[in-house]
Amino acid sequence: MDFSWLEIVVASLLLTLVGGTILTRGRSWLDPVFWKRFAIVGSLVMFTFLWILTFDTMRQTAIGKGRIPDPTVINKKIGYQLDAETGRYRPVILGDEPLFEKVYTREEAMRLLTKGKLTIQSRNCMDCHTLLGNGAYYAPDLTKAWLDPKWEKIMIPMTGAKTKEEAMVRFLMNPDKFATWTRRMPNLHLTEEEAKAVVAYLKWMSAIDTNGFPDHFGESKLVEF
């Protein structure tokens, strides 16, 4: 869309004002009908703008349209870097990095990710974790979980896995055994197939352009105690 947010704000307010004024000509502002007409005009204008914006957003966030990368991004190495121009962090693609030592075709990747999403919903992940910042607050945010340094630093040695994705699968299948804190994730009985699909999903999610959320992910000045 070629309009800035400010133009949209001004246009919606102006339309409400002009439409309401025309429809309430000659009425006192103490007359309920005055407010009734303004209410109808205001609601219709705002709802119309919401629909237009919704169509535009759906288009810009379709799979493979830039903001939401193509499923084959799971074959790539993903990073998260400060974009100097906007002052916000953006996911970047840093060359090839097969997942589970495999390069997926677009169809295979899509099937895997669909399975991952179904698995995430079937186990109510969102009722402990946040995904893209939405959900519950009992467990860490998963938006950039794929990029979390803890997999390499703690979970690979702990699970005895060779790669990050393997460590993730082992953790997801037996989270109660690989706990690092008193709040343990319950065992949700993921099959290996499901666990792999979830890992792929987390990789894909970490490549979504979230306008810089979370800020400076992984760059911590927090002192552990």
* Binding-site ranges for ligand HEM (CB under 6 A): 133-134, 136-138
Give the span between the Cα atoms of 133 and 126, in whole angstroms: 10
User: Which distant-in-sequence residues (6+ apart) come within 8 Å of 63 by Cβ?
Assistant: 70, 71, 110
Q: Can you tell me which of 173, 197, 199, 200 binds other proteins, judged by CB under 8 A?
A: 197
Q: Hey, which residues between 57 and 76 contact other proteins (CB under 8 A)?
A: 57-58, 60-63, 67-68
Does the protein bind other proteins through residue 84 (CB under 8 A)?
Answer: no
Does the protein bind other proteins through residue 32 (CB under 8 A)?
Answer: yes
Give the span between the Cα atoms of 59 and 140, in whole angstroms: 30
User: Which distant-in-sequence residues (6+ apart) come within 8 Å of 22 by Cβ?
Assistant: none
Give the span between the Cα atoms of 188 and 131, in whole angstroms: 18
Residue 90 β-bridge partners:
81
Nearer to ligand HEM, 127 or 152 (CB): 127
Site string for other proteins, 104-143 (x = CB under 8 A): ------x--xxxxxxxxxxxxxxxx-xxxxxxxxxxxx-x
Q: Look at residue 68 and give the partner it binds from other proteins, ligand HEM, none, a contact being a CB closer than 5 to 8 Å depending on partner kind.
A: other proteins
Q: Hey, which residues between 88 and 107 contact other proteins (CB under 8 A)?
A: none
Nearer to other proteins, 94 or 152 (CB): 152
Nearer to ligand HEM, 114 or 134 (CB): 134
Angle between helices 32-60 and 5-23 (to 10 degrees): 150
